[in-house]
Amino acid sequence: MISTAKLAAAGVVDRLYATFDSPRRQMWLMVAIVVVMALLPLVMGRYTTTIMTNALLYVVLALGLNIVVGYAGLLDLGYAAFFAVGAYSVGILTVQFDWNFWLAIPPALLAACMAGVIIGGPTLRLRSDYLAIVTLGFGEIVRFSARNLEITGRASGLSNIPEPSFFGYVIDSYVDFYYVFLLLAVMAVVASHRLYHSRLGRAWLYVRHDEDAAEAMGINRVRVKLAAYVTGSVFGAIGGIFFSVNLGAISPESFSFEQSVLILMAVILGGMGKIPGVILGAFIIILGPELLRELGELRLLLFAVIMLLIMLLRPSGIWPERRN
């Protein structure tokens, strides 16, 4: 019975995939989706707009982790650490040192890159489970450091993070931040697409499929994997930067291991290495529990069952990478 359902689901998704297989059709589909998303705040209330803003944040984060997991084949269980580095860097500079928000962004991105190099350099020679354990430890080290350092506000975190302004216009409403995260999501999609079709993207593909063969071809696998790790850290830091000013306050619990798991679930559920799949996975992870909210305490149980069924029917993800 499961095999029959799996074949039926595969047939439906494959026909949908074939419909939008050409780059031109995918581009027009993306344009149509962006136009619809841009019009949604006109018909949505505050609560729904806030949920959609959170979904767009996860799109940015999931696309960043997709570079690490989907493109380069590295299992990262501590991705929320880069999310935290970006958020705390901007929070510290704007609250503790009265920096302008836009001037605080480059140091925050630099801090995320340095964190990626510090953790990635010594550990990316590891493979599989060992790398996953190290990244998990790194994520928890960052969170516990934020909880215990005075400059990060300890367990209480940082509050009163000022809203950014753009040429005199203060970005402070929930609609403003919806459009900010929509713009970030579009930029993340474009950057991911360009990276995938670049020379570095092809090197990631070779390393993911066979590290030894890639190294025999002259590809420095450690350097290539480090590039994926640092690039993913920039995506995570950008999400953290605007997450902090959107809420106006951050705490260590916002960057727990559960956040890393949710982002990884979005990548795996949608389809590792495939941009449309990752976007779809991010929206499912955020919107799924909200659509089942009327069920009360049973909503998470039912959502977990639905995800299990999806993975049984589509073990490679809803929109997996196509293999020739």
- The residue ranking higher by pLDDT, 14 or 239, is 239
The pLDDT value recorded for residue 22 is: 64
Confirm if 177 and 171 have CB atoms less than 8 A apart. Answer: yes
The pLDDT value recorded for residue 59 is: 97
Residue among 309, 242, 311 nearest 59 (CA): 242
Question: Residue 126 corresponds to which amino acid?
Answer: L
Q: Dihedral of the CA atoms 64, 66, 72, 77 (nearest 10)?
A: 80
Asked whether the predicted pLDDT for residue 11 surpasses 70, the reply is: no
Q: Which residues contact 104 (CB under 8 A, 6 or more apart)?
A: 89, 90, 93, 94
User: Token digits for 177?
Assistant: 């931040």
Asked whether the predicted pLDDT for residue 226 surpasses 70, the reply is: yes
Question: Residue 207 corresponds to which amino acid?
Answer: V
DSSP element (H, E) containing 166: strand 165-166
For residues 79-88, give the mean pLDDT. Answer: 95
How do residues 107-165 score in pLDDT, each as one tens digit?
999 999 999 888 877 777 776 678 888 888 989 999 999 999 999 999 999 999 999 99
Question: Residue 145 corresponds to which amino acid?
Answer: S
Q: Which residues contact 57 (CB under 8 A, 6 or more apart)?
A: 181, 239, 242, 243
The pLDDT value recorded for residue 24 is: 74
Asked whether the predicted pLDDT for residue 296 surpasses 70, the reply is: yes
CA angle 88, 181, 164 (to 5 degrees): 55
How do residues 69-79 score in pLDDT, each as one tens digit?
999 988 889 99
pLDDT band at 324 (very low <50, low <70, confident <90, very high): very low
Confirm if 306 and 257 have CB atoms less than 8 A apart. Answer: no
Round the average pLDDT of the chain to a whole number and report it. 88
Asked whether the predicted pLDDT for residue 6 surpasses 60, the reply is: no
